[in-house]
């Protein structure tokens, strides 16, 4: 189930809530949405992986005690390829569980039952500590780049075709930010794979193709988002 959409901006942090308790998932989704987050929910690790194929998440709220693959198991597998922030939830207050979660690589740990405002504070704190800035690091890069009829604004992660906003996914936004901040330069495919839940080089080509369908007249013969064979991609912008 997806959280109710109540005019949350596209650039708001996107949180994946993973818990087998439907009532708690719905409560957390509503609470976090009201607090200004975009929220997706999953009832299991397997469902979370499926959701991660379509979205790039800024943080996970992950239950420990789930049937089948536990939250510990899922967090351990995530940490092999991703540094996405993880706030773990558990009905057990055993200190050993907390240590296990932190050793695996969880960023914080909260025991059930909890005060929703405390969860909000802890989630906000780990996002401040771990989420990189979305804009380009190079101070010489302008706030907005232009390519053909398109413009991309870094601070908002906003793509426009002339005056119209072009809807893009979180993953497409991350790729555009990286390519745009190094406009004209070759960017290796491994750098474009990102650091989110779904980060891997195989998905980069898929996302690039989807992005091309939004900005190229002929995606098979791209003018702006070009392939650099054996390396990766580059974005050709107006000078």
Considering the entire predicted model, what is its pTM? Answer: 0.56
| Size (the chain), residues | 239
Q: Looking at domain 14-130, does it have CATH number 3.40.50.2300?
A: yes
**218 or 188, which is more confident:** 218
Residue ranges of the chain assigned to CATH 3.40.50.2300: 14-130
Per-residue pLDDT tens over the stretch 31-77: 999 999 999 999 999 999 888 877 778 899 999 989 889 999 999 88
What average pLDDT does the structure give for the chain? Answer: 82
pLDDT at 46: 94
Q: How confident is the model at residue 94 (pLDDT cuts 50, 70, 90)?
A: low
CB 75 within 8 A of CB 105: yes
Tell me the CATH class for 144-235.
mainly alpha
Q: Which of 100-109, 144-153, 195-204, 216-225 has the lowest mean pLDDT?
A: 195-204
Instruction: Choose among 163, 200, 160, 215: nearest CA to 52.
Output: 200
pLDDT at 212: 95
Highest mean pLDDT among 20-29, 46-55, 85-94, 166-175: 20-29
Q: How confident is the model at residue 136 (pLDDT cuts 50, 70, 90)?
A: very low
């Amino acid at each position: 189930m997806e959280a109710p959409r109540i005019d949350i901006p596209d650039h708001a942090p996107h949180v994946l809530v993973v818990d087998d308790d439907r009532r708690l998932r719905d409560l957390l989704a509503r609470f976090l949405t009201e607090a200004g987050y975009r929220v997706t929910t999953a009832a299991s690790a397997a469902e979370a992986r499926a959701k991660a194929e379509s979205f790039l998440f800024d943080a996970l709220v992950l239950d420990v005690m789930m049937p089948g693959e536990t939250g510990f198991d899922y967090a351990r597998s995530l940490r092999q390829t991703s540094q996405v922030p993880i706030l773990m939830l558990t009905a057990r207050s055993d200190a050993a569980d907390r240590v296990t979660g932190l050793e695996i690589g969880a960023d914080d740990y909260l025991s059930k039952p909890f005060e929703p405002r405390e969860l909000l504070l802890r989630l906000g704190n780990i996002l401040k500590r771990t989420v990189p800035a979305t804009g380009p690091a190079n101070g010489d890069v302008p706030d907005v780049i232009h390519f053909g009829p398109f413009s991309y604004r870094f601070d908002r992660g906003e793509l426009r075709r002339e005056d119209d906003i072009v809807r893009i996914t979180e993953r497409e936004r991350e790729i555009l930010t990286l390519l745009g901040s190094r406009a004209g330069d070759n960017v290796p495919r491994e750098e474009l794979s990102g650091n989110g839940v779904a980060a891997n080089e195989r998905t980069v080509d898929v996302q690039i193709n989807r992005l091309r369908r939004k900005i190229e007249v002929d995606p098979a013969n791209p003018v702006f988002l070009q392939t650099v064979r054996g390396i990766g991609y580059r974005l050709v912008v107006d000078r």
